[in-house]
Structure 1
Amino acid sequence: MKKVLIFSFQLATLIVIYQMGSLLVRFFHLQVPGNVIGILILLILLWTRVIKVEQIDLAATWLLKHLSFFFIPIAVGLMTLGPMFLNKGILILIVLIISAFIGLISAGKATQSIIMKKEKVKVNYHDHSV
């Protein structure tokens, strides 16, 4: 029962952050989806340690585990856009490839940066402990 309450609170926290992002988009008439602004808000809250990973870990892990389920409505919606894909399919494919490439490079650079920092800390720790 306690785990259900913790999960519910964490999920509610993530929903509130998402809603804040959507509200900001509507209020400022931004050309960015509300969920993107919500993710940025969450990132800032995590960086500033207003929210700790442990405070959203259970719900976030569950959502990530079931992420593919959330793409079903999008896939069904895309089926209605067949004519657009016939006319603009190559352009869409190019944009998708470029954005995937940018995402991969960004993720790789971020991972390398984190690994380098951890190795630097480890080396400094060993130097000072000798």
Structure 2
Amino acid sequence: MGFAILVLFQLVGWLIQHLTGLPLPANVIGLMLFILALFLKWVPLQQVEGAASFLLKYMSLFFVPVIVGSLAFFPYLREHWAVIASSGVVSLLLPLLVTGWLVQSRLQARRNRRREEDAHVHRG
């Protein structure tokens, strides 16, 4: 029953994506609807827990096609490994640094605003 519920949400996500043309993958839409149904207690967790545990246990098998497909491009990967590796490092570090900078600037702005409010209260 749990597996049928998971597949049903996948199907509903696919229908919504194809009927509305939303620029989201159907599985993401189905997952969002499934999470909403769990939070609203429309779907009891116990009904899907067994199927979800089974799928998670064997999830590594879903990556086999990706690994096999990447082997088909092995000559290209070997030739351009430096560009691929550097783009991977940059795409990891750049968002990390930008996010850290944004958080620090927001925290500093909040501290400054509190100081101004405290100074205004003490003056007034």
TM-score of Structure 1 vs Structure 2, range by shorter chain? 0.5 to 0.7
Q: In the alignment, what sits opposite 1:26?
A: 18
| CA deviation after TM superposition for structure 1 residue 16, in Å | 1.0
Alignment of 1:1-130 (within 5 A): 9-80=1-72, 83=76, 86=80, 89=84, 90-95=86-91, 97=92
Quick one: distance in 1 between partners of 2:72 and 2:35? Answer: 34
Identity percentage of aligned residues: 26
Q: Give ranges in structure 2 of 5+ residues lacking alignment.
A: 97-124
Q: Give ranges in structure 1 of 5+ residues lacking alignment.
A: 1-8, 102-130
Equivalent position amino acid for 2:4 in 1:
A
Q: Secondary structure at the match of 1:56?
A: helix
* TM-score w.r.t. length of structure 2: 0.59
Equivalent position amino acid for 1:22 in 2:
W
| Residue deviations 1:86-116 (CA, integer Å, cap 9, x gap) | 3962435544x36xx7xxxxxxxxxxxxxxx
| Residue deviations 1:14-51 (CA, integer Å, cap 9, x gap) | 01111111221222222221111111011000010000
Q: Classify 1:79/1:19 alpha carbon distance in 2 versus 1 (closer, same or farther; 3 Å).
A: farther
Equivalent position amino acid for 1:14 in 2:
L
Equivalent position amino acid for 1:15 in 2:
V
CA RMSD in angstroms, aligned pairs only = 2.6
How many residues are paired up? Answer: 90
Quick one: distance in 2 between partners of 1:11 and 1:36? Answer: 17
Question: Post-superposition, which runs of at least 4 consecutive aligned residues in structure 1 deviate over 2 A?
Answer: 74-95
| Pair member with larger Rg | 2
